[in-house]
Each structure stands twice: as C-alpha cells, then as structure tokens.
A and B are shown apart, each in its own frame.
Chain A
Amino acid sequence: MSQFNSHSPPPLRHPVPTHPAYIPEPPSTPASPQGYQRFSSSPGPGQPQQQQSYPSHVPAYTSPFQHSQPPIPPQYQTGMNMHHMQPQTQQQHPLPPQQNAHMSGPDYAAWGFDGATAQLGMQLGQSAVAAGQEYVQRNFGTIIPSYHIKHYFNVSNSYVIKKLRLLLFPWMHKTYFRRPRAQGEWLPPRNDINSPDLYIPVMAVFTYILLTTLNSGINSKFSPLVLGESASRSTAVLLLDFCFVRLGCYILNIQGSSQVMDLIAYGGYKFVGVIFTLAAGFLGVKGPLWTMVFLYAFAGYAFFLLRSLRAVILPDPASVPATHATATVTQAQRRRRIIFLLLEALMQILYMGWLVRI
C-alpha cells in the first residue's frame, strides 16, 4: 500500500477511474478458467499502472457510495457482471478493455446518469472550486497581503526579549530609526530591534484578555461574557488609536511609509505596559504604589511611542531622499506635527487607564 500511496495519482484523476468492478477480482480470478490470464495481467507493462491505481481508488470509490446507499448490492452485481465480461475481452487486447472498464464506470448509472456526464460534472465542479479559491486568494490577498503579514511575524527569541526590555525600559535606547534592507524594504524584526512586529502585540492582546478573565475569576465573578467584553474593549482601543493616528496623518498631510500594519503594531505595544501594571496588581501592589507602577508603564510606552512614531511622522531630512517636494517640511508644519505627536503620546494614558481598570 505504501508504494501505491507514493505513486498515487494527482487529485484530478480521481473521478475518472472510479471502478467498482475491480474490487472483487482476487476471489474471482481463481474461478475463472484462464489461469494464465491472471498471471499475465499483473506483470505486464501496462498493467501495473492499473493495479496501482486500483487500491488508491478504493476509498474514493467507497466513500460516496456509503453516503448514497450503504448496502451496495446493485452495482456490486453489475461489477461482477462487468468482471465476468472482462477476461473474455482481455484475450484479444489486454490493455484497452481495462481502460474501457475504467472509463465507463457503471457506478454512475446507479446514481442516475452516465459516466461522461458525471465526469464532466465533477471536473466542472473541481475547476469551479479551484477558481473560487483563487479568486478569494487574489482579492483578499490585496486587502491583507500575506507576504507583509509574514514579514511582521519574522521574530526570534532574542528579538522578543530585547524588544520587551526596550518597551519597559526605553530610556537608554539610542536610535529608533529602522534599518533598510534594500530600496523600499526594511529588515525583518529578527534582525532589527527597531522594526515593528506583530508577534508581541498579538500575544499581548491575548494575554490581556486572559488576565482580565483571571482577575474576574479570582474575584469569583467569572462569566464567559468577560472574555468577549475584554476582547471587544482591546479591539476598540486598537481601532481608535489607529484611526486617530491615521486621521492625524491625513490632516497634517504626512506622506510617508506609514503602513497600516506598522501603526497597528505600534499601537499594540501598549498592551505590554498594561500587562506589566496588571501583573503588579496581581502581585499585591496596591494604592499609590500601584499608581506609580501604572504611571511608569505609561511613561515608558509614551516615550517609546514618541521616539518610534517620530520616524514616521517627522522623517529625518537626511534620511529621506529629496526627490519629493513634500519631503521638505516647513517650520510651522514641523511644529504642528510635534504637537500632534505629543498629543498622541499623551492620549495613551487614557487608553491604558481604560485598559487597566478591569
């Protein structure tokens, strides 16, 4: 069976040779008068393919029939008839009757239509399904480009640890500019600690949801609704933050490489600080000390966000190629952008304060 599986035909061949008449061959061949027929049929050059294709067809053949009618006497009998016809025709030409028996499946007659119609229908159906899948992939691939998403999850253990340390203690980090790999491409997060990734935000959001649920469980107020509520709240925070930054970028006429996923990733890092505060609360920190912890987490994240979004909102004049006339930022524009950046960083205290109040 293993060699059959290794040589199993491509899926398009499945509907073609569905042939129930082949199954009862081993018991029937000894009864047949031509003993040499059996012997000559197996080692022949054309026969091994048929022999190989027959066991792999068995599941494909049996499963639809078990669906349609569990006891299969009618086509079993037709199969037997077909088989008794088979050796007589095989005396003249060994190969063509086999193919003929494969092609004209009598099982389709049991379903109510002939073999050609069934094959055409199945091929049509398969091509339709394939076309549908391709359509979905093409259209949703443009909305959510899978290659870019994969790029954001290209992380390593050391990157995650370094990034978490950077998020909690962003004070000592020198430069926040990302390093380009090629023209218009950035290094993946695995190689560049300043690159935004999506792994940490996704994990942080899930951890946050579980922590809120754990908190309600500790207070013996658990209900499954808590999961949905915290998930909805975290999604709302992410969307709100993203929309605010996007609207600000539009109004301030900031044209840059500020991609959607970058902004979502930068917004998602706030959950690390939130989880830090929540963990402090679980460890028994209360009162003003807890407020201090929260303020520290907020300050760290705001600092990180200021430095990170600065690369997006205020591109360095030296690093930006002076091809665009819009790259030159006037003084008033620059001041306005800095105000927007500060506002965005200060708004994080609202988001985080809302998130930690579980």
Chain B
Amino acid sequence: MSLFGIGTMIYVALLLINAMAILSEDRFLARIGWVSASRQIRDVNTGFQQTYDHTNAYGTVQGEAGMKARLIDLISAVRTLMRIPLIVINTVVILYELAWG
C-alpha cells in the first residue's frame, strides 16, 4: 500500500542533489553553455563593474535567460554549498544501507 513514504522521498531528494552536485562545470556545463554568467563575463574582462552589464543583459532578454540563469545559479549554489554535507550524508546512508538495507 505504501509504495512511497517519506523515506523514499528523502532518498529521491538525496539522489537528485547528488546528481546536481556531480555535474562538472568545466567538462559538461560549459560545453552546453550553462556556466554562470558572472564567471563568463569575468573571463572576458576581469573587472568589478560587471554587475551592471549583467543585469542589463538580463533585463533585455528576461524571459528564457531569466529562468536559465536561475537554474544555473541553483546548480552552482548546490555544487558549492552542499559538497561537504553531501559527503557526510552519503556516508551515513551507505552505512545504514549496508547494515539494515
């Protein structure tokens, strides 16, 4: 009856976050153009006043680019922020599965 409880949901969320964290920025995301815009611009001319151009570029396009930029930001945030916690959580889950799974 219960094919999908809260435990399954936690597993699914963990696997999804793992999948997001595993994406390599240099090898995969840059190839399909999913690099965060700040990094792209920083490559062109390394400066601080990039933010204005950045928002202007977004203000003009705004639609698809907005969503895409949000997604890219989300992925990079997950990759940056969740790296250390994911190691711990994955270890705990693996040990649990080894013992009682």
A residues sitting closer than 8 Å to B (CB atoms) are 226, 229-230, 232-233, 235-236, 239-240, 243, 250-253, 330, 332-333, 336, 354, 358
- Give chain B nearest CB distance to A225 CB in angstroms: 9
Residues of chain A lying within 8 A (CB to CB) of residue B63: 330, 332-333, 336
Looking at chain B's contact residues, the main secondary structure is helix
Q: How many A-B residue pairs have CB under 8 A?
A: 45
Residues of chain A lying within 8 A (CB to CB) of residue B13: 243
- Cβ-defined contact, B8 with A330, below 8 A: no
User: Contacts A330-B62, A332-B62, A336-B63; is A232 near B71 (CB within 8 Å)?
Assistant: no
Cα-based distance from A253 to B68 in the complex (angstroms): 11
Residues of chain B lying within 8 A (CB to CB) of residue A226: 1
Looking at chain A's contact residues, the main secondary structure is helix
Which residue of the partner chain A has the closest CB to B74? A250
The answer to whether B4 has its CB under 8 Å from any CB of chain A is yes
The answer to whether B87 has its CB under 8 Å from any CB of chain A is no
- Cβ-defined contact, A229 with B6, below 8 A: no
- Cβ-defined contact, B62 with A333, below 8 A: yes
Which residue of the partner chain A has the closest CB to B61? A332
B residues sitting closer than 8 Å to A (CB atoms) are 1-2, 4-9, 13, 62-63, 66-67, 70-71, 74
Cα-based distance from A233 to B2 in the complex (angstroms): 7
- Give chain B nearest CB distance to A247 CB in angstroms: 8
- Cβ-defined contact, A229 with B2, below 8 A: yes
- Cβ-defined contact, A251 with B62, below 8 A: no
Contact of A251 among B5, B6, B9, B74 (CB under 8 A): B74
Residues of chain A lying within 8 A (CB to CB) of residue B62: 330, 332-333
- Give chain A nearest CB distance to B100 CB in angstroms: 17
- Give chain B nearest CB distance to A185 CB in angstroms: 29
- Cβ-defined contact, A240 with B9, below 8 A: yes
Residues of chain B lying within 8 A (CB to CB) of residue A235: 6
Query: Can you list 20 A-B pairs with a CB-CB distance of less than 8 A?
Result: A229-B1, A229-B5, A230-B2, A232-B7, A233-B6, A236-B8, A236-B9, A239-B6, A243-B13, A250-B70, A250-B74, A251-B70, A252-B70, A253-B66, A253-B67, A330-B62, A332-B62, A333-B66, A354-B4, A358-B1
Return the 9 tightest CB-CB contacts between A and B, nearest first: A232-B5, A229-B2, A332-B63, A232-B6, A236-B9, A236-B6, A251-B70, A235-B6, A251-B67
Apart from A236-B4, A250-B74, A358-B1, list 9 A-B contacts with CB within 8 A: A229-B1, A230-B2, A232-B6, A239-B9, A243-B13, A251-B71, A251-B74, A253-B67, A332-B62
- Give chain B nearest CB distance to A324 CB in angstroms: 14
Residues of chain B lying within 8 A (CB to CB) of residue A230: 2
- Cβ-defined contact, A253 with B70, below 8 A: yes
Cα-based distance from A239 to B8 in the complex (angstroms): 12
Residues of chain A lying within 8 A (CB to CB) of residue B7: 232
Which residue of the partner chain A has the closest CB to B58? A253
Cα-based distance from A233 to B6 in the complex (angstroms): 6
Cα-based distance from A232 to B71 in the complex (angstroms): 30
Cα-based distance from A253 to B8 in the complex (angstroms): 29
Residues of chain A lying within 8 A (CB to CB) of residue B9: 236, 239-240
- Cβ-defined contact, B67 with A336, below 8 A: yes
